[in-house]
Structure 1
């Protein structure tokens, strides 16, 4: 039997209260995929296809990068975790992993590189919050999680054949760790989480945390409808690395300041018991409703109220914090700082 919106709101509020008290939450994402990219040409191929510098990633670390198409639009955004010169792990949060797979396969012609979907035997968790590193240190005392920077990796075997990797990320807009574990190690990983008081919680809380911190995610906010500059992903573009697909378009947009839209956060301006008043894909209109100025890409509910928050792309002329716009369904939205 489906749960009522009131029951969902209570569950979310309880999960958020626990998160605030402990300063850490664990999520088992229902989206995304993990691929192995192996072969002597794998690293060079990704370097030539994506926006960031991949060729110089040190062993045992990771870097986030973007696949763009010929128009400079986003195909996928993902982490490249370097195990060795010939073995990479590619981790995407996209709801459609075929986008990355098909794009890389399309340009793998004579290169000695193979892309293998490893999602069925590699589980993923996100550990998020100001106490995330301390909590992981309690659960996995064999490793040191202190003083880590974004992109640093840790790894160990929790059982025979059950490798677990820890990647420090900024996925939720604050201290976060992506945990990847092989199938044999899943029971031990979950047991350690539980003993450290880190029980998995609803992905609705994850959405609230990332949207509150204005963090876009592939498949929702990062799609072929937008380019990396509109999405605020300037730090994932290496402007000196040379050519990649879409490079000329992105360079022109940056050089001549031609970016017309920006990703913004928003909240409702009035409360309603109807928690479905704002939906992904809703058009956003100017304050007088005269013309379309953007669209909604992500929506989440605040834990203690029925108020919705979200992310949207708007024309830059309408992104002033505090300004009000309206959805095509008639809901007023206030742009967040």
Structure 2
């Protein structure tokens, strides 16, 4: 199965008895019921429901390992750190000690879980791809060309960071509606997203289009024949 380096990765370690509840209160997916050995994605959003970062949370038992994106790490930490207050939560950056890959075109039967194989942690994110994390002293070869991965994403309509998943978008328009829990309680940005869902209107939507079908300014990932785009919903 092909692998491609995930260079814009960050890995932080969240510890403390309140860590899981803290993430739950600041992001779009229901996290509070996670158990050891489980992996779940969620979206940290602003008060306007714009994406701050997509995070993949690994429940390691004694701590949470949180994969996010290096280009947004400072903003993410600036967003969450002042809100710790008196809660039992500490966050440490472990990015420099690790390497990151995406393995795709795979058949995952254990979505939402992870396991270690020859020193490499395989997080089974979706049916067709996995997030791989390994210490820098472990051999983890990721040699595939990024353009082939993007073609695969287009075919399978998988949104990606800095393409569809962007700070100017909200999760519903970026192909991340499955990470917005429908009955979860209050979190930052929840009121805006709930209003969009209740009205059945989100302003924009994530689509796969044939090249030339929409104005190029709406295209988020360019492919050879098809592309991904975020377009405005038609007025009703």
How high is the TM-score relative to the length of structure 1?
0.64
State the partner residue of 1:229. 172
Q: CA shift at 1:269, angstroms?
A: 4.2
Instruction: Give the Cα separation in 1 of the matches to 2:43 and 2:212.
Output: 34
Q: CA shift at 1:205, angstroms?
A: 1.4
State the partner residue of 2:190. 247
Cα pair 2:164 2:175 within 8 Å, conserved: no
State the partner residue of 2:67. 91
Q: CA shift at 1:208, angstroms?
A: 1.6
Which residue of the other structure, out of 311, 318, 328, is the alignment partner of 2:228?
A: 311
Which residue of the other structure, out of 203, 211, 217, is the alignment partner of 2:160?
A: 217
Instruction: Give the Cα separation in 2 of the matches to 1:297 and 1:109.
Output: 38
Q: Secondary structure at the match of 1:250?
A: helix
Which residue of the other structure, out of 167, 172, 182, is the alignment partner of 2:135?
A: 182
The total of aligned residue pairs comes to 235
Relative to structure 1, is the Cα distance of residues 94 and 210 closer, same or farther in structure 2, using a 3 angstrom cutoff?
Answer: farther
Aligned-residue Cα RMSD (Å) equals: 2.4
Runs of 4+ in structure 1 displaced over 6 angstroms?
none
Higher mean C-alpha deviation, range 215-224 or range 52-61: 215-224
Gaps of 5+ in 1: 1-23, 134-146, 191-198, 271-282, 286-293, 319-337
Q: CA shift at 1:97, angstroms?
A: 2.7
Instruction: Give the Cα separation in 2 of the matches to 1:232 and 1:29.
Output: 20
How high is the TM-score relative to the length of structure 2?
0.89
Q: Secondary structure at the match of 1:229?
A: helix
Which residue of the other structure, out of 196, 213, 221, is the alignment partner of 1:298?
A: 221
Which residue of the other structure, out of 84, 94, 114, is the alignment partner of 1:153?
A: 114
Q: CA shift at 1:218, angstroms?
A: 2.3
Q: Secondary structure at the match of 2:218?
A: strand
Q: Secondary structure at the match of 1:200?
A: coil
State the partner residue of 2:52. 75
State the partner residue of 2:215. 284
Rg larger in 1 or in 2? 1
Gaps of 5+ in 2: none
Q: CA shift at 1:62, angstroms?
A: 0.6
State the partner residue of 1:100. 76
